[in-house]
Chain A
Amino acid sequence: MEVVYKKPESLKDETIIYCPGCGHGIIHRLIAEVVDELGIREKTIGVAPVGCAVVAYNFFNFDVTESAHGRAPAVATAIKRLLPDRIVFTYQGDGDLAAIGTSEIIHAAARGENITVVFVNNAIYGMTKGQMAPTTIPGMKTTTTIEGRNVKYHGYPLKVCELLSQIDGVYYVERTSIDSIPNIIKTKQSIRKAFKYQIENKGFSLVEILSPCPINWKMTPKESMDWIRDVMSKYFVLGVFKDKGG
């Protein structure tokens, strides 16, 4: 019998501890499929963030290290410089990358480090149960913006792809979403492109993925996907912001 669908070798057989409807499971799987398809599992080194995905080493069946909050790009920089033939990626959430780690991501990008960054944007601090994130969109309710984010008081969200695309050292930046099957397929293609560019020594790539957090958004998984499509992706517009290779 022909096998048409199976667990990627790059995923361990481990009980998922993410919340129901969380996007991390989908994104982990997409990365694992890409790593399998590119045949790089045995030379991939992942750098996990602080946040829900800190436990990524439990799920990925390749070498993964923890990093301090926001510092994954600095950790990845050293690994890639010392082991240039390995494939090094960071997996970071919005609090990790766009708040406490803003300096590290901008300077890794500016140095043009030949690494891949998977940036999961769910517009909220998930692991700490729903505070305002740097990517919480105007009007959105969180536990620290109970009346909704008021830009006059709380300031504006940070648009990471728009920001990074201005930096000379950046090779490829794209924002995708996993709110629908076509967008999940598109996201996988973007992740694959980002890894492929690293294999080809092209330089710094980042894929921002709009991802649901139903528990902290206080929505059902279906409502979350609809909200990404109808509201979130209107603020964080999907698309390629920079692609020196295409």
Chain B
Amino acid sequence: MRKYLLTGCEASAEASIHAGCKFYAGYPITPQNRFPEYMSKRLPEEGGVFIQAESEISAINMVFGASVCGFRALTSSSSPGISLKQEGISYLAGCELPAVIINMNRGGPGLGDVTPSQSDYFQATRGGGHGDYRTIVYAPWTVQELYDLTYFAFDVADKYRNPVLILADGILALIMESVKFKKIKKRFPKKNWALTGCKGRKPNSIKSLFLTPGILEKHNWKLYRKYKKIEEKEIKYERYFCEDADCLFVSFGTCARICYETIKILREKNFKVGLFRPITLWPFPYKELENTIERMKKIIVVEMNLGQMIDDVKIANKKNLPIYFYGRPGGGVPTPEEIYRFFISHLVGKKDKLWK
């Protein structure tokens, strides 16, 4: 099968087109500028609409409008831009509108920097905007997986009528890797709730306002049941070297990929270490992690932030195993060697002589 050499931005953009996305609105922000650039050319070629919006806020509300009339729609940005989109994401969740949002995470808070980070884990998994809602969050670790998850995200968004977020980072946005394409989607779920003009039917309306007492509460419970169903059906994760391991690395996205390299070094030196990688950050694979640590003695969490996913690991850690944390905030990217050194000095308690 033919393979294509693409940056993460290009692969994700192409995946959305293959998944039947017909609308993109975005605003330039580093490190995801290749995304709108690529879409500005490719989407009109496929009969879709590209708009460079005047702001991130406008871009997400354009996506809202596209979703209102039943089209598959996408926006991409990076951390400060995703903050601005939160109002729109809350409305999408409240109105039960499907949409896909890509975050090529950079360092923060504030304007931060333009280098890769995982500092938006809380924002992505804890709602981000106002109100009692959830967004489904995927964390890819390769450009191929970024392609696959973007492609898949549109189906999940439609299935649950819910926004889906892909939390990648500046590395995945910019590195080039070979990618296999999937089939171009031709069949889509019917959306009889969409606003297309009321010809031959009663008028439709889309809303998140429920002023009559008790109605919003009912709506919230309806959303709750949907979120429970998503928690039951949509969890994704991967495990590596876990069969005989007594120490477990837990890490997501790019950072998990770096940990994988560390684990290979540790395995060569007969350390029995494994890797648990959540692919859905919400819903988080609590049960699956809990089962994985059944025979373990220690847990090490590695993130490109000050420790965010570690909160979810603590929820899953019913055995009360010691949890070690290694983090690099502010755009710092750990090397496999420095994680190795941390492991040897903190988890084994020895001075390391291998890496000088």
Contacts and interface: CB of A to CB of B under 8 A. Distances in A.
Contact of A78 (B57, B64, B198, B204): B64
A111 B57 CA distance: 17
A221 B68 CA distance: 37
A183 B73 CA distance: 42
Nearest to A57: B205
Given A43-B199, A82-B23, A83-B69, A77 B205 contact: no
Given A57-B205, A74-B59, 14 more contacts: A47-B65, A55-B209, A61-B198, A62-B197, A63-B198, A66-B209, A67-B64, A67-B91, A74-B53, A75-B64, A78-B25, A82-B49, A82-B71, A83-B197
Contacts of A54: 209
Nearest to A85: B197
Interface of A: 41-45, 47, 54-55, 57, 60-68, 71, 74-79, 81-83, 86, 103-104, 106-107, 111
A103 B58 contact: yes
Contacts of B59: 74
23 contacts: A42-B200, A43-B197, A44-B197, A45-B197, A55-B209, A57-B205, A63-B198, A64-B205, A65-B95, A67-B65, A68-B64, A71-B64, A74-B57, A75-B64, A75-B65, A76-B65, A78-B23, A78-B49, A78-B65, A78-B73, A82-B22, A82-B71, A107-B58
B57 to A, nearest CB: 7
Contacts of A76: 65
B161 to A, nearest CB: 14
Contact of A79 (B53, B66, B207): B66
A104 B58 contact: yes
Given A66-B206, A103-B54, A75 B62 contact: yes
Given A57-B205, A57-B207, A66-B209, A71 B197 contact: no
A33 B200 CA distance: 20
Contacts of B23: 78, 81-82
4 nearest CB pairs, A to B:
A78-B65, A75-B65, A57-B205, A107-B54
B112 interface: no
Contacts of B63: 78
B51 A63 contact: no
Nearest to A43: B197
Contacts of B322: none
Contacts of B91: 66-68
Nearest to A77: B62
A42 B206 contact: no
Interface string B54-86: 110111011111101101010000000000000
Nearest to B207: A66
B87 interface: yes
B196 interface: yes
A55 B211 CA distance: 10
Nearest to B57: A71
B109 interface: no
A42 B209 contact: no
Contacts of A42: 197-200
Contact of A77 (B51, B197, B204): B51
Contacts of A104: 54, 57-58, 61
Contacts of B51: 77-78, 81, 111
A86 B196 contact: yes
A65 B209 contact: no
A183 B276 CA distance: 70
A77 B65 contact: yes
A65 B68 contact: yes
Contacts of B196: 45, 63, 83, 86
* Residue of B61, B63, B87 with most partner-chain A CB within 10 A: B61
A34 to B, nearest CB: 16
A67 B67 CA distance: 12
Contact of A74 (B65, B195, B198, B209): B65
A38 to B, nearest CB: 13
* Residue of A61, A68, A78, A86 with most partner-chain B CB within 10 A: A78
Contacts of A74: 53, 57-59, 61-62, 64-65
B335 interface: no
Interface string B189-232: 00000011111100111111100000000000000000000000
A77 B87 CA distance: 18
A23 B40 CA distance: 43
Contacts of A57: 203, 205, 207
A64 B207 CA distance: 9
Given A68-B91, A77-B51, A78-B51, A63 B62 contact: no
A68 B66 contact: no
A82 B198 contact: no
A189 to B, nearest CB: 25
A140 B69 CA distance: 41
Contacts of B205: 57, 63-66
A66 B58 contact: no
A76 B103 CA distance: 25
B3 to A, nearest CB: 33
Contacts of A82: 22-23, 49, 66, 69, 71
B208 A63 contact: no
Nearest to A110: B54
B88 interface: yes
Contacts of B64: 67-68, 71, 74-75, 78
B58 A86 contact: no
